[in-house]
A and B are shown apart, each in its own frame.
Chain A
Amino acid sequence: MTTVALPAGSGQLGHGLRMIGNEVRKVLHLTWANRAALIFQLGFMTVLYWMIQYFVGGGRVVPELAAQTFVAYLAFVVTYVSLLRMASGLLEEVHTGTFMQSLLSPLRPWVLSTGRLVAVVVEGMLVAAVLAVIFLPLLVSHLDFRWQAIVPAVFTLVDAAGFAMLIGGLALFVTGVGAVMHVLWNLLLMLNGSFVPIYVFPAWLEAVAKFWPTALGADATRQILSDGASLTELWSDFTMPLVIGHALLMLLLGWVVFHIGIRRGLKRGRLGP
Chain B
Amino acid sequence: MSSTTTAQPAGQALSPGGTLIAVGNEVVKGLRHGWAERTQILIELPLFVSFILMVGFIAGRGQQVADTGRMNWALDTATASWLFLGISLYTLMYLQIQKLFWRQLAELQTGTLEQTYLSPLPSWLHAVVGRAVAATVEAAIVVAAMYAVLSLAVRLDLTWRLDALVPLALGLLGTTGFALIVGGLALRWKGIEVFNDFVLLLFMFFSGVMVAIDRLPAFSDYISPYLYLTHVTAGVRRIMLDDQGLSTWGTGGYVWLVATTLAWFLAGFAIFRGCERAAKRSGSLSRY
A-chain residues with CB within 8 Å of residue B211 when the two chains form the complex: 54-55, 59
Asked if A148 lies at the interface with its beta carbon under 8 angstroms from chain B, I say: no
Distance A186 CA – B91 CA, assembled complex (angstroms): 13
Closest residue of chain B to A175, judged by CB?
B106
Asked if A37 and B106 sit within 8 Å, CB to CB, the answer is no
Asked if A180 and B63 sit within 8 Å, CB to CB, the answer is no
Asked if B60 lies at the interface with its beta carbon under 8 angstroms from chain A, I say: yes
A residues 6-58 touching B (CB-CB < 8 Å): 34, 36-37, 40-41, 43-44, 47-48, 51, 53-58
Q: State which of B51, B99, B110 has its C-beta within 8 Å of the C-beta of A190.
A: B51
Nearest CB of chain A from residue B279's CB, rounded to whole Å:
16
Asked if A110 lies at the interface with its beta carbon under 8 angstroms from chain B, I say: no
Asked if A196 lies at the interface with its beta carbon under 8 angstroms from chain B, I say: yes
Asked if A180 and B109 sit within 8 Å, CB to CB, the answer is no
Closest residue of chain A to B39, judged by CB?
A176
Asked if B162 lies at the interface with its beta carbon under 8 angstroms from chain A, I say: no
Known: A37-B194, A41-B198. 20 other contacts (CB 8 A): A37-B192, A40-B194, A47-B201, A48-B201, A53-B62, A56-B58, A56-B62, A57-B60, A57-B63, A62-B63, A65-B65, A91-B109, A95-B106, A96-B109, A96-B287, A180-B44, A183-B47, A187-B46, A195-B54, A200-B69
Interface size class of B (residues with CB under 8 A): 35 or more
Nearest CB of chain B from residue A18's CB, rounded to whole Å:
27
Closest residue of chain A to B45, judged by CB?
A183
A-chain residues with CB within 8 Å of residue B105 when the two chains form the complex: 178
Given known A59-B211, A96-B287, A180-B40, contact A195–B58 (CB-CB < 8 A): yes
Among all A-B residue pairs, the 9 with the closest Cβ atoms: A58-B60, A95-B109, A57-B62, A44-B198, A64-B66, A62-B62, A59-B215, A37-B191, A56-B62
Nearest CB of chain B from residue A176's CB, rounded to whole Å:
6
Counting chain A CB atoms within 10 Å of each CB, the highest count among B103, B109, B204 belongs to B109
Given known A179-B98, A199-B69, contact A59–B60 (CB-CB < 8 A): yes
A-chain residues with CB within 8 Å of residue B59 when the two chains form the complex: 55-56, 58
A residues 42-87 touching B (CB-CB < 8 Å): 43-44, 47-48, 51, 53-62, 64-65, 68, 84
B-chain residues with CB within 8 Å of residue A34 when the two chains form the complex: 190-191
Name A residues whose Cβ lies closer than 8 Å to a Cβ of B: 34, 36-37, 40-41, 43-44, 47-48, 51, 53-62, 64-65, 68, 84, 88, 91-92, 95-96, 176, 178-180, 182-183, 186-187, 190, 195-197, 199-200, 202, 273
Asked if B71 lies at the interface with its beta carbon under 8 angstroms from chain A, I say: yes
Nearest CB of chain A from residue B53's CB, rounded to whole Å:
10
Asked if B50 lies at the interface with its beta carbon under 8 angstroms from chain A, I say: yes
Asked if B158 lies at the interface with its beta carbon under 8 angstroms from chain A, I say: no
Distance A64 CA – B110 CA, assembled complex (angstroms): 49
Distance A36 CA – B39 CA, assembled complex (angstroms): 34
29 contacts between A and B (CB under 8 A): A34-B191, A37-B194, A40-B192, A40-B198, A41-B194, A43-B198, A44-B197, A44-B198, A56-B59, A59-B211, A65-B66, A84-B194, A91-B109, A92-B190, A95-B106, A95-B110, A176-B37, A179-B40, A180-B40, A180-B43, A182-B47, A183-B43, A183-B47, A187-B46, A200-B65, A200-B69, A200-B70, A202-B73, A273-B109
Nearest CB of chain B from residue A205's CB, rounded to whole Å:
9
A-chain residues with CB within 8 Å of residue B69 when the two chains form the complex: 199-200
A-chain residues with CB within 8 Å of residue B102 when the two chains form the complex: 178-179
B-chain residues with CB within 8 Å of residue A62 when the two chains form the complex: 62-63, 65-66
Asked if B137 lies at the interface with its beta carbon under 8 angstroms from chain A, I say: no
Asked if B193 and A186 sit within 8 Å, CB to CB, the answer is no
Distance A186 CA – B200 CA, assembled complex (angstroms): 13
